[in-house]
Structure 1
Amino acid sequence: MNLAAVTRGAPALKPLALACAISLPALAPVLAQDALPSVLVTGARFPVQAAQAPIGATVITAEEIRRAGASDVNAAIRKIGGVYGRQSLDASPDFALDLRGFGANSAQNLVVMVDGVRLNENELATTVLSTIPVDSVERIEITRGGSSVLYGEGATGGVIHIITRRAGEAGTRGSLFAEGGQFHHRDLRASLAHGAGPWSFDAAVNDRATDGYRDNANFEQTAFSGGLQYAWAPGSRAGLRVESARADSRFPGSLSEAHYLDNPRASFTRKDYGSLDSDRVNLFVEQRAGAFDLAAELSHRKREVEANYHFTVAGVETLSRSTYDAKQTQFSPRLRHSAQLGGQRNELVAGVDLVRWERDTVSDFSLGDARQDSKAFYVRDELRWNAPHNARLAVGARHEKFEKTYSDPLAFPAVAGEKREQSLNAWSLEGSIDLLPGLTVFAKAGRSYRIPNVDENALRATLDVLQPQTSRDLELGLSVGGAVQQLSARLFRHRLRNEIFYDPTIGWGANTNLDPTRRQGVEIEAWRQFTPAWRLSGQWQYVQAEFTGGPNAGREMVLVPKNVLSARLAWTPGREQSADLGVQWVDSQRYGSDFSNTCGARIPSYATVDARYARRLGAWEVAVSGLNLLDRDYYSNAFGCRSGIYPSDGRQLKLSARYDF
């Protein structure tokens, strides 16, 4: 990988050089400490100790979520994980998360999992995380970079895995939470957990509402999550988890630059609104038998979306109503075999993913019925050498077959029973070694893929269905530090072929397979515990997203900021009080329609500040928090040149109280 090409024109890369120049003698007191806490994370789709976590993974704990005052899972990923999020198009808190600069299609280039179950939809929709009560989350794991071997299509940018509370501690515990704030913000939550012998259960419910920062931006949602578990031996358990959510939202719509500068809170779509109903049931089982670990999930999810838009044509007001009824069933059995081979530990993981996704559409412009079946087999083998170098070498492969059917009598021309089959392969090779105590270097290479979804094929630039998107992935990195401070730096490159993207320059606009493109850049994550009370952490991503072939060669991809820098300062002098301050700066980026890079303007850069202070009084905790404290006017979504702008929220102050029992 050509580092000079990556860093060209990026003076902000100086922190990387400084970080890598830290002298080892200066770190000696740190390196003498234990490197990682003894906690479980998700390895190759099985629980492992933190020392065997996926290379380059970021883990967000429940305590960090609470301390930062994140009101939902999406906000926790953005605020604590440093993941860039693009303002939602409706009034929901479900920002489009972007790992490694995939712009408008970022949601289709990362996989979101909940308790081992895929949450992505086979359509052009942002993965909905707000339906997961934040108090039910045990941890969030973020793995950046190509991960198709273990997680299938759409994992080129990486994987976000949300793990809900399943551990059954003896006794009864729970909490009550209430928060209010500007824009008639309301957030009410309750959680309860109980364990007795091998049985345990937990439940969490929340009710939230806001009038929104903009006009016609009301949002209301209720959500429930509950689980029942039976554990009969260490590493062996079975259970059931149910999630249900109902949401209603208004659609404030987009603004032109002139309207935005005049009043960023304005809306010209005051009659547009929609709803989302979601239900998910997940059965899981884990069994340990000697050197084997067996696990499986069987899940079913139902999602119903309704959208209502009002148009005025020739002075006549018209209502356009659409409903999308989607269902997904997944069965994912897998096994792990662990053994000692000549003094080295070998771990073999193999599994099957069977997924059926269906959607029925009823609208004025479509009666499309779609179905997709996917069948995948994957295998991954990892060999570990112990001290003095603690080396790891892993190789994996995946084969996946897709069957798509689609029909729509209202399409032009009409589509009757269109059926296609597509098969794809992924592979990965990764390794790491401790060159010195506390200094680890690692490398990853592989192939990942994505297939076109039903919406992309429904509005395509070709007679046949779009071709699958493939990526050659490469990553080099290092991690240095221990219990007091740690720094990780990664160089990455994704060379894409047939990237699936909406091209506004084709006729009236259509989805197509682009000429060759590339994402390459640098990621840095670091933290330092200055004293037991003070902790500073931060993330920085620099990414070049550009065409490498065709008539657009050398031009930048749209809606991708080159730099995203996040930092958090936490103060926890004891249980009685805590404070948390966060800052994020986002670089300028091309407007969504600017494929030719000829628009005379760019989406401006911006910085936001959020903070929270909490005080404990026995079983009570009261807190005050604020978002966008400097009250900056900014936007991260704009689909035309100086138009199609979706303004982000202004300053919001909130007050909360929590009671733990």
Structure 2
Amino acid sequence: MKPCISLSAASLGLLFTAHTHAQSTELETIKVTATRVAYAEADAAYAAEIHTRPMIDRSGAQTLFDYLAQHSSVNVAPSFGNRFTPMLDMRGYGSENGYQNIAVSLDGQRLNNIDMVPQLLGAIPLSAIDRIEITKGSGSVLNGDGAMAGTIQIHTRPYSGISIGAYTGTDGALGLNTAAGTQGENYSISASADHSKHGGYSQADISGHKDSSEMRNERAALKVRPLRDLWLNVDVSSTYIDTRYPNALSQAQFDADPSQAGATRYTHQQFTTDQWRLGGEWSLNDSTKLTYAHRREDKHSEFVGTFKADYDIEGNDLAVVHTGDTFDLTAGFQSTDGNRIQAFDQTKKNSRAYYVQGVYRLGDTTLSAGTRRESVRYEHLPAGGAQLSRERDLDAWDLGINQRLDSRYSVFANLNQAFQAPDVDRFFVGGTFNAFINPAKAKTLTLGLNRMAPGNRFKLAVFRSNLDNEIYYYNTGNWLTSFNTNIDKSHKYGLEVQQFWQATPQLSLNANYAYTRSIIDRESQGNGAFDGKELPGVPHHNLALSGTYAFTQRSELTLSQNWRSDSYAIGDFANNRSQRQAAYNLTNLTYRYRLQGWELFATVQNLFDHKNGIWTRDNGIYPINFSRSALVGFKATF
């Protein structure tokens, strides 16, 4: 532990001093678009973290999961071994429930589910992504339910030309992706297909199966302009996932060999989702446009032999966006109807929301304000028995100010109120009605400093969040008497640092650091045993470092390091278990060589063969990223 702390301290020292030695190299201009109006990131009245396509290319990552886990400030881990629906955590909401407190969207389409299944990030090909924008402590006005910690907004890119890529690696890793597209003044059309397989990291279980996985994804998009001021678009996609993930091990088993299978069969999940979206954008004049999108998603999820469900989800998004010289305004209506269909019941979560968000620029000062009213209705319709329903009206608002001090420095302050409406699983335990529990609410204050200089991009933010009714699972040790409920009062605070430094024309360095504390102030369950304790699954320190060295214009080497300090294990609200969540440590190395339209790459993951796992209880450890692996592949564009 001490060497890791020393490394963290040394890295932070580099972060705070590097800006004094910045080179004259000009960096790309980065825009933020979280309010649906683009403006310079230095003028944002909230904490923002932007990942562009060049950053993604340099990383050497092959999946969105790998990129976020190794190169962003988000804590990302397989969900008890499932890499397609990973655990997400930001600003101290914990590895168990953090994903429910982050609103994730793909091209404006919400990915959060109505039950306790994390967002399906594994269905998004990394090759299709143009940019990722992460907002922290803000975003609740436009994104609503679940944006307590912030948002992750993923934007894809239209294809032009033809591209093909493939890779192979250890443990039976195989991947193939193709894309083709063309664009004109009045149209664009593109299609892509991705297919990946993995033979598994662990040994075969008692049925002879390893923790293998397979994913297939196809997408197509068409955008046309029938009139000078009108664009219409349609997007369709289909995804199939078949995955097995390993069982929990005891501490002794994990220490001896984390690849061993345990005594039972691996969890086997099959998942299909088909989506389509229709939309349009009508320019009313040079500064105002009307946008509309309608989407539908049909999903089927089956844990083979135990649980299966179908999901029907429909949504609408209508907005007016005005962009002026000094004033921007976004106002709109959003609706989501989600229905989970099982053999003997249906459960629905439907929402209707109105919002308005404005930005006013007065010289070097940027002011922002917005508000949202969202109504959420739940219905449980069993095949036999009484129907249950509940409706809630929830409010979110956001106030921000950004002040330019000079051409390089700016400071900002943001005060945000957000909410999380419980998912439908929170009302049930073991198939029995639990109770309608309260929505969670958070008020977050963020103060920040930005420094944008040639060859250097530096951001610093501090935050404090006060929460009412944070949602959690109260585990008595017996599932028959355990239940979902609310933490009466809690708070979170921390510090966040981002640093990109073009040290020389050949060497670029990037770092993300977060110090986070999450405290339970008062909770009636546990007879006061939780009061003043830390929320489990929240590491105090999270550090992501990467460096890229260009040997020539054609070849470069990237080294990345992700480290998270130890924490209390999932479910340890009393902070008294004998086993803690161990520190996470992962080092990756990637080499890229480019020649005209070709690129060859080789990646070593977990370079130092570090054992990582997720502690869910004493002697309940799910092994993740516990062995060294390698990939080699190519990409070609025509």
Does TM, normalized by the shorter one, top 0.5? yes
**Does residue 445 of structure 1 match 2:423?**
no
**Does residue 210 of structure 1 match 2:210?**
no
TM-score by length of 2: 0.91
Q: Which residue of 2 aligns with 1:378?
A: 355
Q: Which residue of 2 aligns with 1:524?
A: 497
Instruction: Determine helix, strand or coil for the equivalent of 1:258.
Output: helix
Deviation at 1:383, TM superposition (A): 0.6
Query: For each residue in 1:350-400, what CA deviation from the matched residue of structure 2 results, as whole angstroms up to 9, or x when unmatched?
Result: 1111110001123xxxx33111210000011111123xxx21111111000
Q: How does 1:10-21 map to 2 (within 5 A)?
A: none
| Deviation larger for 43-52 or 390-399 | 43-52
Query: For each residue in 1:452-487, what CA deviation from the matched residue of structure 2 results, as whole angstroms up to 9, or x when unmatched?
Result: 111111129996400010011110110113231021
RMSD over aligned Cα, in angstroms?
Answer: 2.6
Q: Which residue of 1 aligns with 2:134?
A: 142
Deviation at 1:283, TM superposition (A): 1.6
Deviation at 1:52, TM superposition (A): 5.3
**Does residue 112 of structure 1 match 2:104?**
yes
Q: Which residue of 1 aligns with 2:240?
A: 246
Checking the alignment, whether the CA contact within 8 Å between 1:539 and 1:566 is kept in structure 2 is yes
Deviation at 1:19, TM superposition (A): 5.6
Instruction: Determine helix, strand or coil for the equivalent of 2:171.
Output: coil
Q: Using the alignment, how far apart are the partners of 1:63 and 1:18 within structure 2? A: 23
Q: Which residue of 2 aligns with 1:4?
A: none
Give the partner amino acid of 2:242.
D
Checking the alignment, whether the CA contact within 8 Å between 2:308 and 2:342 is kept in structure 1 is yes
Deviation at 1:545, TM superposition (A): 1.0
Deviation at 1:523, TM superposition (A): 0.6
Checking the alignment, whether the CA contact within 8 Å between 1:518 and 1:546 is kept in structure 2 is yes
Instruction: Determine helix, strand or coil for the equivalent of 1:75.
Output: helix
Q: Which residue of 2 aligns with 1:298?
A: 294
Deviation at 1:138, TM superposition (A): 1.4
Q: Using the alignment, how far apart are the partners of 1:40 and 1:486 within structure 2? A: 13
Query: For each residue in 1:48-89, what CA deviation from the matched residue of structure 2 results, as whole angstroms up to 9, or x when unmatched?
Result: 555655632222122222221221222222222232112232
Checking the alignment, whether the CA contact within 8 Å between 1:335 and 1:350 is kept in structure 2 is yes
Query: Which of 34, 45, 50 pairs up with 1:43?
Result: 34
Deviation at 1:402, TM superposition (A): 0.9
Deviation at 1:247, TM superposition (A): 0.9
Give the partner amino acid of 1:560.
V
Change (3 A) 1:45 1:506: farther
Q: Which residue of 2 aligns with 1:499?
A: 470
Change (3 A) 1:415 1:357: same
Instruction: Determine helix, strand or coil for the equivalent of 1:455.
Output: helix
Deviation at 1:645, TM superposition (A): 3.2
Checking the alignment, whether the CA contact within 8 Å between 2:34 and 2:139 is kept in structure 1 is no
Give the partner amino acid of 1:220.
E
Query: For each residue in 1:514-537, what CA deviation from the matched residue of structure 2 results, as whole angstroms up to 9, or x when unmatched?
Result: 121111101100111112221101
Give the partner amino acid of 1:140.
I
Checking the alignment, whether the CA contact within 8 Å between 1:284 and 1:296 is kept in structure 2 is yes
Checking the alignment, whether the CA contact within 8 Å between 1:265 and 1:647 is kept in structure 2 is no
Give the partner amino acid of 2:122.
S
| Deviation larger for 218-227 or 85-94 | 85-94
Q: How does 1:94-105 map to 2 (within 5 A)?
A: 94-103=85-94, 104-105=96-97
Q: Which residue of 2 aligns with 1:534?
A: 507
Give the partner amino acid of 2:358.
D
Deviation at 1:47, TM superposition (A): 4.4
| Deviation larger for 431-440 or 507-516 | 507-516
Checking the alignment, whether the CA contact within 8 Å between 1:43 and 1:54 is kept in structure 2 is no
Query: Which of 208, 219, 223 pairs up with 1:225?
Result: 219
Change (3 A) 1:236 1:611: farther
Q: Using the alignment, how far apart are the partners of 1:423 and 1:558 within structure 2? A: 30
Query: Which of 279, 286, 296 pairs up with 2:281?
Result: 286
Deviation at 1:114, TM superposition (A): 0.7
**Does residue 352 of structure 1 match 2:315?**
no
Change (3 A) 1:39 1:485: closer
Instruction: Determine helix, strand or coil for the equivalent of 1:516.
Output: strand
| Deviation larger for 572-581 or 150-159 | 572-581
Q: Which residue of 2 aligns with 1:567?
A: 545
Q: How many residues are paired up?
A: 617
With a CA cutoff of 8 Å and minimum separation of 6, indicate the structure with the bigger relative contact order.
2
Q: Using the alignment, how far apart are the partners of 1:228 and 1:40 within structure 2? A: 25
Change (3 A) 1:483 1:202: farther
Q: Which residue of 2 aligns with 1:477?
A: 448
Q: Which residue of 2 aligns with 1:327?
A: 312
Q: Which residue of 2 aligns with 1:638?
A: 615
Instruction: Determine helix, strand or coil for the equivalent of 2:180.
Output: strand
Checking the alignment, whether the CA contact within 8 Å between 1:393 and 1:430 is kept in structure 2 is yes
Q: Which residue of 1 aligns with 2:207?
A: none
Give the partner amino acid of 1:430.
G
Q: Using the alignment, how far apart are the partners of 1:516 and 1:179 within structure 2? A: 49
Deviation at 1:572, TM superposition (A): 3.2
TM-score by length of 1: 0.88
Query: Which of 392, 401, 404 pairs up with 1:431?
Result: 401
Query: For each residue in 1:144-167, what CA deviation from the matched residue of structure 2 results, as whole angstroms up to 9, or x when unmatched?
Result: 11321110010011111111114x
Checking the alignment, whether the CA contact within 8 Å between 1:545 and 1:557 is kept in structure 2 is yes
| Deviation larger for 466-475 or 615-624 | 615-624
Q: Using the alignment, how far apart are the partners of 2:134 and 2:77 within structure 1? A: 18
Q: Which residue of 1 aligns with 2:271?
A: 276
Q: How does 1:147-158 map to 2 (within 5 A)?
A: 147-158=139-150
Q: Which residue of 2 aligns with 1:315?
A: none
Change (3 A) 1:115 1:89: same
Q: Which residue of 2 aligns with 1:616?
A: 594
Query: Which of 251, 254, 272 pairs up with 1:257?
Result: 251
| Deviation larger for 84-93 or 194-203 | 84-93
Change (3 A) 1:474 1:12: farther
Instruction: Determine helix, strand or coil for the equivalent of 2:249.
Output: coil
Structure 1, unpaired ranges of 5+: 1-8, 309-319
Q: Using the alignment, how far apart are the partners of 1:580 and 1:407 within structure 2? A: 53
Structure 2, unpaired ranges of 5+: 204-209
Q: Using the alignment, how far apart are the partners of 2:15 and 2:625 within structure 1? A: 33
Checking the alignment, whether the CA contact within 8 Å between 1:537 and 1:569 is kept in structure 2 is yes
Q: Which residue of 1 aligns with 2:206?
A: none
Deviation at 1:435, TM superposition (A): 1.7
Deviation at 1:332, TM superposition (A): 0.4
Q: Which residue of 2 aligns with 1:605?
A: 583
Q: Which residue of 1 aligns with 2:556?
A: 578
**Does residue 177 of structure 1 match 2:177?**
no
Change (3 A) 1:14 1:652: closer
Q: Which residue of 2 aligns with 1:59?
A: 50
Percent identical residues: 25
Checking the alignment, whether the CA contact within 8 Å between 1:476 and 1:492 is kept in structure 2 is yes
Q: Using the alignment, how far apart are the partners of 2:47 and 2:454 within structure 1? A: 17
Q: Using the alignment, how far apart are the partners of 1:322 and 1:231 within structure 2? A: 45
Checking the alignment, whether the CA contact within 8 Å between 1:591 and 1:642 is kept in structure 2 is no
Q: Using the alignment, how far apart are the partners of 2:149 and 2:289 within structure 1? A: 29
Instruction: Determine helix, strand or coil for the equivalent of 2:123.
Output: coil
Q: Which residue of 2 aligns with 1:548?
A: 521
